Amino acid sequence: MGEVIYSAKPLWAVLVSMGAAFLILLTGEKARNLRESWTILAALIKFGLVFSLIKPVLAGKTIEYTLITLLPGVALQFRVDAFGLLFGVVAATLWIPTSFYSIGYVRTLNEHGQSRYFFSFAMCLSAAIGVAFAGNLLTLLIFYEILTIATWPLVIHHEDTSAIAGGRKYLVYTLTAGCILLLAIGITYSLAGTLDFVGGGFLAGHGSPGLLILLLTLFIAGFGVKAGIMPFHEWLPSAMVAPTPVSALLHAVAVVKAGVFGCVRVILFVFGPELLQQLGVWTILAGVVAFTVVAAGLLALGQDHLKRRLAFSTINNLALIILGVSLLSKNAMTGGILHIANHAFMKITLFFCAGAIYAKTHKDHVSQLDGLGRQMPFTFAAFAIASMGLCGLPPVNGFISKWFLCLGAVETHQIVFLFVILTSAMLDVAFFFPIIYNGFFKKPLPDVAGKVDEAPLLMVLPLCFTALFSVVFGIFPNAFLNFFNIVRLAVTNVLGG
Amino acid sequence: MSDQLPALIIVAPLLGAFLTPIIGWWNRHLSHPWVLMVLTIPLYAAYSSLFKVIKNGPFGYNLGGWAPPWGIEYRIDYLSAMMLVLITTIGFLAAINAKSAGNTEFKGKEAQFYTLFLLQITGFLGIVITGDLFNVFVFLEISSLSGYGLIAHGEEGAPMATFNYIIIGTIGASFYLLGVGYLYMATGSLNIADLATLLPALYHSKMVLVGFAFFTTGVAIKMGLFPLHIWMPDAYTTAPNSVSTLIAPLMTKVAAYLLIRILFTLFKPDFALSVVPIATILGWLAVAAIVVGGVKALAQTDIKRMVTYIMVAEVGYIVMGISVMNRAGLTGAILHIINDACMLLCLFLVIGAISFKGHGREIYHFQNLNKKMPLTMAAFVIVALSMCGIPPACGFFSKWYLIMGTIVAKQWVFTATLLASSLINAVLFFRIIEKAYLAPPEDVAAGLDHTEAVIITRDKVPLTMIVPILISAAIILILGPLSGKIIETVIQHAVPAIF
Amino acid sequence: MIWQLDILLLIFIVVCAIAAINIKDLMGAVIILGAYSFFMCLLWTEMGAVDVAFTEASVGAGISTVLFIAAVNRTARRSKD
Amino acid sequence: MRNWFKLISMAAVIITGALLIYGTHDMPAWGDPDSPANSHVSPRYITEATKKTATPNIVSAVLADYRSYDTLGESAVIFTASISCFFLLRRIRNKEDHND
Amino acid sequence: MTEYILAKYNYWIYVVLMMIGLYAMMGKRNLVKKLIGMNIFQTSIILLFVSTGVKKGGATVPILMHAGHEHGAQLIQVSDYLNPLPHVLMLTAIVVSIATTGVALATLILIYKRYHTLEEDEILAIRRESRAYKTPRILNPTD
């Protein structure tokens, strides 16, 4: 796998937001500006650290850092390969706009418990980067569990009955998933004696097919909870009670993507395409996620609460990613992995918009948005761009990943899956376009101001920024962050050649 | 000096205990600093013996200069050195903590309290360090007797709980003594190392089998293994807080140490593997302990009582690790001895601080507690996460090894029990965390933000309480990532080579 | 070592033990326990364990009985079983 | 309920007793001078104690010398018990004084 | 058979004593009776130990007769003296048992002060009552 560089940069990337988290807690409510400058500072430093890793990784190198031995043969180890880097870059990049947006959001709504909010947020980011850079399953699990716990205070942030219920549901689902993962990883370790990720998998030749299929089921169940694969998706819509920036970054990028990331890691780096071909379970897996894709799309149609609709759209897209990977063909894989990044940019824009609308007008149902586009043109324009992307229309970046997914589905000669992908695009159109149409063209509700009256600048700028980048990455997939090259490299790492 | 280390570990606290009443009689405020001063000696000696063992391997110390089978030998190997460090560290932290709580709980009787406190620690240390079966009994009794005295001084139901403890504990100790008697009749020796060489020829002798049965039953009683745990919840719940802080984390662990000694040093592992079905019995008892402990803990609203039932389950963990009879399982059991002792220490310290500030122990009393005692509750959250097995706290790692052990042994029911139990723990602790950290939903619904709803003053927890709490919480966090190191340097040598 | 004496003492001891746990008057039970200890001393002397017998006579039969009597005096004397 | 408990304890006692009696099966005959207990460690006490410790009573010699730490422990036990009793009972007297 | 019984009857009687003591500890309701049982139980174990030191065939108490003589040491015959080790151990055990009894009696007095009875079931009833009284459950709809 090319040259290995030993560097503590991945560790620092993880630690920087953890340190910021404690500084935030120490600074407390009294010095708000100082506290929030910690967040922004950490976000910038983190981005710088992660960004500096792109170049060596694209040159075919792997960055490794071993902290301490945990078990014989397994260390607390960070290893940055192309796939991990993709997730890391997405999370680190999007933290910057989210930080600004968060500040605008909590100040506009005058939220309580802001220190706890920013503390948990920074911890989540730390854990997400840890997940991205984990060099083996155990390290991954450790950060995955930290992520679980750090998200909980954000979910229950409002402390009302529905928030607490949502938090409990979240914990029940994710902690059970953690236990299942622990079991799965334990079995893996007892079979193979190692947990280090290897492109193309390391489980081949260990254990009986029955046990391996059971193991795969456990893994997918464990990671699938966070990735919202049906029937484990139930917590995600309930967790939408969280403040919108949380939904935006965590339930579109960090947390759910960590689940998807885990699934993909297991499929490609633990089992490997060849083993899955041999076991013949990839069709079942793809079938399950394909069902999720369609079902989530249908359910989204029925939601009137905007954030819940977005949540189901998230479930739909996450399943699409896993579908792409489990098709095991080169193009489908490229599309799936690329969709991790693309979906993140688009979905975070959508959530930002939802948050901006809520902060300005306290409206959170689709049916209340009539004519609001005239009052908040920037917000609605961004919303329109992002939803076009999710429907797969060029020139937004969603088009590219869906294109590759379709190519991959054709490659595998499973026309069913092509059909699924296209159906999901149709469903996307069906549940997004009415919002845009009503927002711009329907007669405004009486309480909508006739003039342009946007949310605060700290909220509008980030959402314009992410929308803009969604378009930029659609036209130049290799702009700035080299997403396309990274994805190509990741696929090469797995499939070889 | 360094040759006399093993003797120093016992003699220093013992002499310190003899002198404490005099010091206390002279000036009762001096007894606390005196105890701390005395405890630094075994603390130092324990750490240096651990380093000595790591460097040079196990060593013995012949008391009075008599060679082992005739005289009493103190034997320090990897396991006992580790236990010594554990006991002295926890004892020291508990001693620091004892000041504020102890001075109110035992007003006017500090001297006696600290004397018993030192004797308790001496007893634990003696059980661990000695290489002579009868000497173990003597130290077991020292620790039990001082424990009886300390616990009986607790709240309303304490004397009755203590009486039950005395009866059951004496049955346990007597069973242990019977076991010693049977083995002595079979071999004529009392020295563990000597017996270990003599016993293999006699494994099928009925005397040895019965002796073994009584040994394990006696130790199981002291350990509080289901169904012999009946004395434990009452005794530790009603005990004074500064006492349960010391005894609850250590008594069960020392007994677990004895069980490991009996199963793997006194008897060779193949005795348990091929002669008696002890592993199976212990394993299923452990499953029952975990299930019953967890369910009973769920039923409690008093947090101290809840923790005692969690202890029942935790003993089940340790025994389960022993019962699967493989390297991973036993490593997990030994690691869990350390981790669980630290977690329980922290829990009881937190409970002690909460009670000291006059808050109730029922769950509904935890309302808003994070505003009143933020540091204490932060420590509580760390322990809670550790108990649920969330990394990087130490509870995760011992659970990992235990689960590995059950997987290797292909005992899927055991695995399932362990996993289910960590979920039960999550329920147990998160309902308290929710209470402590969240405003009541009624207030939120009524539009009262909890910063406005109640004007909350911070409780000033005395330094002698908050420092041990923070140290123990830090230990929990540090032990987790260090567990690989601990296993590499200590525990892997303590596991019998045939595993 | 005469086995007849031996067996006689043992029978006494067992009888005392049974009586001690069955008498409803606690003071009586305690005194019978003292007698039990005393017979035990005799048995040990007969077995040649003179040191143990001495200790038991002073500690077991003596101090222990005194403690019991003192405790029973301060508490209830009747027992329900 | 109570009888039920008595039955259980009776059963436990009988099991214990049966186990103990089962163990006696392999025991050396009563008073056997060559039993392991009498032949492994103890002969050396009898032959050497006087030489090494200059005490005619072998029990005292072993008690005070070979196993002196048992004796130290024994005195610690007494000390513990007396302090425990003192610790527990003094409060009552204080309370009574207070109440009266 | 007779020989077997003669060789073992001692042990059996000890076991019977132990069973009596153990039964009193577990089955009796009165706390003093439990303690009496505890004493019986412990003495029977001591008896078992002491009997391991017995040697038939002319062995006497373990006190040397020729002490002080220079050549006395050579004359010592192991079979002439009883095994001293169990005696040593049991001296300690007796002390331990009396210490336990002492602490137990102290708690007994505490219990009597508090509940004015020494019957276990009565005490349990009182405790159950007081606990129910002391900790009222607050019925919280969210719990």
Q: What is the pLDDT of residue B308?
A: 93
Give DSSP secondary structure letters for A396-453. Answer: STHHHHHHHHHHHHHHTT-HHHHHHHHHHHHHHHHHHHHHHHHHHHSPPPTTS-SS--
Q: What is the pLDDT of residue A497?
A: 58
pLDDT in tens, E34-71: 999 999 999 999 988 888 877 776 667 777 665 555 44
Once rounded to an integer, what is the mean pLDDT over residues A35-39? 86
Q: What is the pLDDT of residue B31?
A: 87
User: Which of C29, C49, C80 has its CB closest to that of E119?
Assistant: C80
Q: Of A134-138, B71-75, C66-70, D30-34, which gets the smallest average pLDDT? A: D30-34
Q: How far away is chain B from the Cα of E124, in angstroms, using its nearest Cα?
A: 9
Q: What is the pLDDT of residue A489?
A: 84
Residue C2 at interface with chain E, using a CB cutoff of 8 Å: no
Count of the separate structural domains present in chain C: 1
Q: What is the pLDDT of residue B455?
A: 56
Say if C8 falls within a structural domain: no
Say if C17 falls within a structural domain: no
Q: How far away is chain E from the Cα of D97, in angstroms, using its nearest Cα?
A: 14
Once rounded to an integer, what is the mean pLDDT over residues A57-63? 85
pLDDT in tens, A349-401: 988 888 888 888 888 888 888 888 888 888 888 999 898 888 888 788 888 88
- Which residues of D are less than 8 Å from B21 in CB distance? 83
Most confident of A59-73, A134-148, D43-57: A134-148
Confidence bin at B93 (pLDDT 50/70/90): very high
Say if C81 falls within a structural domain: no
Q: What is the pLDDT of residue B42?
A: 92
- Which residues of D are less than 8 Å from B213 in CB distance? 19
- A26, pLDDT greater than 80: yes
Once rounded to an integer, what is the mean pLDDT over residues B59-85? 84
Residues spanned by the domain of C56: 24-76
Instruction: Locate the domains of chain A by residue range.
Output: 4-495
pLDDT in tens, E92-121: 999 999 999 999 999 999 899 888 888 888
Residue B403 at interface with chain A, using a CB cutoff of 8 Å: yes
- B316, pLDDT greater than 70: yes
Indicate the DSSP class of residue E53: T
User: Which of E34, E49, E127 has its CB closest to that of B157?
Assistant: E127
Is the bond into A395 cis (omega within 30 degrees of 0)?
Answer: yes
Residue C2 at interface with chain D, using a CB cutoff of 8 Å: no
User: Which of E18, E96, E106 has its CB closest to that of D88?
Assistant: E106
- Which residues of B are less than 8 Å from A139 in CB distance? none
CB D68 within 8 A of CB B63: yes
Percentage, residues of chain B above pLDDT 70? 96
**What average pLDDT is seen over chain A?**
86
Instruction: Locate the domains of chain E by residue range.
Output: 2-53+82-134
Q: Are the Cβ atoms of C14 and E10 closer than 8 angstroms?
A: no
CATH class, domain E2-53+82-134, is mainly alpha
Q: What is the pLDDT of residue B259?
A: 93
Instruction: Count CB atoms within 10 A of the CB of residue D44.
Output: 15
Instruction: Count CB atoms within 10 A of the CB of residue A301.
Output: 12
- D22, pLDDT greater than 70: yes
Once rounded to an integer, what is the mean pLDDT over residues B48-65? 85
Say if C14 falls within a structural domain: no
Chain C residues 17-76 with CB within 8 Å of chain D = 51
- Which residues of B are less than 8 Å from A175 in CB distance? 388, 422-423, 426
Q: What is the pLDDT of residue E49?
A: 87
Higher pLDDT, D61 or E30: E30
Q: Are the Cβ atoms of A186 and B403 closer than 8 angstroms?
A: yes
Q: What is the pLDDT of residue B79?
A: 92
Q: Are the Cβ atoms of B403 and A164 closer than 8 angstroms?
A: no
Q: What is the pLDDT of residue B253?
A: 93
10 Å CB burial of residue D15 (0-12, 13-18, 19+) is: exposed
Q: How far away is chain C from the Cα of E54, in angstroms, using its nearest Cα?
A: 6
| CA dihedral of B281, B287, B290, B296, whole degrees rounded to 10 | -90
Residue B22 corresponds to which amino acid?
I
When scoring C64, C74, C77 by the number of chain E Cβ atoms within 10 A, the one with the most, hence best to mutate, is: C64
pLDDT in tens, A62-82: 888 888 888 777 888 898 888
Indicate the DSSP class of residue B272: I
**What average pLDDT is seen over chain C?**
87
Residue A69 at interface with chain B, using a CB cutoff of 8 Å: yes
Q: What residue of D is the nearest CA neighbor of B21?
A: D83
Say if C9 falls within a structural domain: no
Give DSSP secondary structure letters for A286-354. Answer: HHHHHHHHHHHHHHHHT--BHHHHHHHHHHHHHHHHHHHHHT--HHHHHHHHHHHHHHHHHHHHHHHHH
Q: What is the pLDDT of residue B453?
A: 47
Could you tell me which residues come within 8 angstroms of residue D96 by beta carbon, excluding any fewer than 6 positions away?
Answer: none
Q: Are the Cβ atoms of B170 and E48 closer than 8 angstroms?
A: no
User: Which of D2, D31, D78 has its CB closest to that of E95?
Assistant: D78
Q: What is the pLDDT of residue D91?
A: 57
- Which residues of E are less than 8 Å from C37 in CB distance? 39, 43
Chain E residues 77-136 with CB within 8 Å of chain C = 82, 86-87, 90-91, 94-95, 97-98, 101-102, 105, 108-109, 112, 117-119
CB B377 within 8 A of CB B437: yes
When scoring B15, B207, B209 by the number of chain D Cβ atoms within 10 A, the one with the most, hence best to mutate, is: B207
Could you tell me which residues come within 8 angstroms of residue B241 by beta carbon, excluding any fewer than 6 positions away?
Answer: B101, B105, B348, B351, B352, B355, B356
Residue A392 at interface with chain B, using a CB cutoff of 8 Å: no
Regarding chains E and D, contact by 3 or more CB pairs under 8 A is answered as: yes
Dist. CA A402–CA A418, nearest whole Å: 10
- E132, pLDDT greater than 70: no
Residues on chain D bordering chain B, Cβ-to-Cβ distance under 8 angstroms: 19-20, 22-28, 35-42, 44-45, 65-70, 72-74, 76-77, 79-81, 83-88, 90-91, 94
Once rounded to an integer, what is the mean pLDDT over residues B196-224? 89
Residue A193 at interface with chain B, using a CB cutoff of 8 Å: no
Q: How far away is chain E from the Cα of C49, in angstroms, using its nearest Cα?
A: 6
Once rounded to an integer, what is the mean pLDDT over residues C19-48? 89
Q: What is the pLDDT of residue B347?
A: 93
Confidence bin at A240 (pLDDT 50/70/90): confident
pLDDT in tens, B433-480: 988 888 776 666 666 554 544 556 777 888 888 999 999 999 999 998
**What average pLDDT is seen over chain D?**
77
Q: Of A82-91, A206-215, B110-119, D58-67, which gets the smallest average pLDDT? A: D58-67
Instruction: Count CB atoms within 10 A of the CB of residue B15.
Output: 14
Q: What is the pLDDT of residue B461?
A: 82
Q: C with D: how many residue pairs have Cβ under 8 Å apart?
A: 4
Residue C81 at interface with chain D, using a CB cutoff of 8 Å: no
Confidence bin at E123 (pLDDT 50/70/90): confident
Q: Which of B257, B253, B402 is nearest to B341 (CA)?
A: B253
Q: Are the Cβ atoms of C51 and D59 closer than 8 angstroms?
A: yes
Residue E84 corresponds to which amino acid?
P
User: Which of E23, E88, E107 has its CB closest to that of D88?
Assistant: E107
User: Which of B400, B422, B444 has its CB closest to that of A160?
Assistant: B444
Confidence bin at C68 (pLDDT 50/70/90): very high
Higher pLDDT, B393 or B445: B393
CB E22 within 8 A of CB E37: yes
Say if C19 falls within a structural domain: no
Dist. CA B279–CA B263, nearest whole Å: 10
ipTM for the complex shown: 0.88
- Which residues of C are less than 8 Å from E119 in CB distance? 79-80
CB C72 within 8 A of CB E32: yes
Q: What is the pLDDT of residue B147?
A: 93
Q: What is the pLDDT of residue B296?
A: 92
Once rounded to an integer, what is the mean pLDDT over residues A464-472? 88
- Which residues of E are less than 8 Å from D58 in CB distance? 62-64, 81, 84
Confidence bin at E134 (pLDDT 50/70/90): low
Confidence bin at D92 (pLDDT 50/70/90): very low
CB A333 within 8 A of CB A276: no
